[in-house]
Amino acid sequence: MVVCPKCGASMPDGTRFCQECGTVLEQAPRIAAVSEPMPAPAATPEASPAQAPANEPVSSTAAISPAPVPMPAPAPMTETAPAPQMSQAPYMNYGYQQPYGQPQQPSMAQSAPGAFSPAFCQMCGAPSGGTPFCQMCGSPMNGPASDPGKKGKKNKAKQGKDKNGKEKKGKAGLIIVILLAVLVIAGAAVFFLLSGNGKKNDSVDHLSSYGVYVQDGELFFTDFKNTNVELTDRLTNTDITDSDLFQSVEELSWLLQFTPNEKYVIYPDRVDDGSFSLYYREVKKLSSGAVKIDSGIDIDYNGILISSNSDLITYKKGDNLYQYSIKKGEKTKLATEVYYRNWLMTDDGRQLVYINTDGNLYYVNNGGDKEKLDSDVTELNWYMEGESICYKKTDSLYIRVLGKDKEKIDSDVSYIYYADGKGVLYYVKSEELRIKLEDLVTFDTLKKEECSYNPEEECVFYVTGMYRYLNGEKLCLTDNSNSLYLGPDGVVLVNTWESPEKLKVKVSELPYAPYFDKWDVSSAICEQQNKTCTYYLVGNEPGAVPVPLSIDANVYMKGFSNDGSCIYYMKDPKEDGPNADLYAYNVADGTEELYATDVYVYGVSCYDFGVAYFTDFSMKTNTGDLNINGEKVDFDVYPFLSRYYQDIDSFFYCTDYNYDRDDGTLNVYSVQSGKKQIISTDVLQYVPLKDGSVLYLYDYSYNSYSGEAYLFRNGKKIKVADDVVVLVDTTSRY
């Protein structure tokens, strides 16, 4: 078993790339002592190339109710049965920063049986194997095609100069020991489809009033009024290049935050050898200098957690959890021997639950003595906003109201699928099936003795039941499912398909008949299962019965409308690219309506205001036309630099995208007023602000790794700084 050094997900031995984030795993450490729960049984190297993409729940998450990092759904075919991951690591959405320990924001499930599953990696051409990330090169399997050679141009660019004007030498140091491969700017910066979640979202973006950027190897703060202030005096060692800093901006975004009241800025300094020192400054009194919180804090994507009253700062150092009070000016050790990321804290910073390295579950209230709640615990989540927790002990699922005895919910539980923190819990029970090849095939035109195969070889399947626990009542939503979609007010949509033991494949239809093995049969069975897919709608009332919907089996589900009256999905894929037709299913009368044609499969999102999507998407230019609620907003828009910000009711998007330069013309569109405005040409990166203005990086050069930072406010462009390496996105969610 190997552990991803970036996100903490556990993978079966032999996995080359993390199936949560795509990080290389060759050097990943093995688990010792207590095993952290592994990712859900998604397709492993034994899975079929025709396997559908992974599914993930959609949620409306409360302020202190961590939901799981979006995880792959159990695949019908896999050789091993890894347990799921329930790590509380921050969810990587590229468009926002989220403190460690805060609610995870599951994105809209992007899965579909059959037709939309990429069979081959678009970067290297290797078979997909059904995994989210290619096992040959680590590229996402469900993203648009791109040209790896163009990214290589940037890696060959000059490294820039240090403060003394000398050429810097490249070094994979700084925060990059965790992640150097991900470019969070440009093509992978803000992925449009991940910003919508299919239903009303209680957690929204919390935009800042201020800007932070990297210049001359240091962090700078600006309030856009007075002189820009240098926050750090030795952010990194002298061997770190501007190129390294550019590629490390996402890590900086996890470590730099403003308190909720924006009175203080919390930031890292003296980053070296995988650790950093943490400081804070009062925004209105920056000249008074920095206050040191602690040093030697490990960089492992823990980030920091700031309490809702802007006073308490919680962080993990080694195996210990600390909390620093700005008001008191002192730190307190809250817990010792905390196992990796298995800890949860309420947003007021007062209640803490965690698993230690021995698997013991503890509760700490208001910094007092710890209370042991249970032992041999492997999975942890909030169930009711700070009042109770749900956790998995061996294969049994428990709920415990804090201060009371635990209650056993069910046994033989594979993993907790999702807990909304408001009293609804979803979990999964899986059963392994091993079926011999000859029991899965029908010898039609070919006789059994004419075929060449291993009679002892077996295909391994997992029949997965989805369960809901609500108000003390347990309900089986479906006994064989691979996805769950949350709608408004607790309504859920689940799919189910036929068990593989009831399916047969004709030998004559196998690609290499009369020679075949478990790969061929597994793939064919997968396709058979896809054709049997049925969707059910389940109400939120006690004793609700799943109601079958007349939705075709082979669709690509996108989510609910805000009021839950219709469900959006895609079908009828086009042969010339990743486009299909978008349909709206009327829940009340069971009818479907063609909503839009030629829609980009990976560019549809449901929001409170309706649905946004791209049409006429071109693989050659990676652009399409942006549409909102059936109205065309603009043409030739680059989806991967487009995002809606609910706080300011604005869509930011780029047109005239230049793939070689990774920049385009930045525009903003107000959904409420229907007005759009051009901000600037040649924009590489942008960070919206609380008042609706935007800080952006203009005319960027990869030769010098620098550009000009501008503020666009009230229709005017104001230069903020020259020679800026990268902007730090301080957007947070809590």
In terms of average pLDDT, the best of 235-239, 462-466, 509-513, 597-601 is: 597-601
pLDDT at 590: 93
Within a 10 A sphere around the Cβ of 360, how many other Cβ atoms? 18
Mean pLDDT of all residues in 472-477: 90
Distance CA 291, CA 268 (A): 11
596's CB contacts (< 8 A; 6+ apart) are 581, 582, 613, 615, 627, 630
Residue-wise pLDDT for 583-617, tens only, equals: 999 999 999 999 999 999 999 999 888 899 999 99
**Cβ contact 452:510 at 8 Å:** no
Chain-centre distance for alpha carbon 270? 29
Residue 437, pLDDT > 50, answer yes
- Model pTM? 0.74
Residue 462 CA to residue 434 CA, distance in Å, equals 9
Q: How far apart are CA 587 and CA 661, in angstroms?
A: 45
* In the predicted structure, residue 173 carries a pLDDT above the cut 60: no
d(CA 410, CA 395): 9
Convert the pLDDT of each residue in 241-258 to its tens digit: 899 999 888 888 888 999
549, with CB counted inside 10 A (0-12, 13-18, 19+), is middle
Quick: pLDDT tens for 34-49: 223 323 323 333 333 3
Q: Can you give the three-state secondary structure of 72-130, one letter per residue? A: CCCCCECCCCCCCCCCCCCCCCCCCECCCCCCCCCCCCCCCCHHHCCCECCCCCCECCC
Amino acid code (one letter) for 317: K
Provide mean pLDDT across the span 116-126. 35
d(CA 201, CA 734): 12
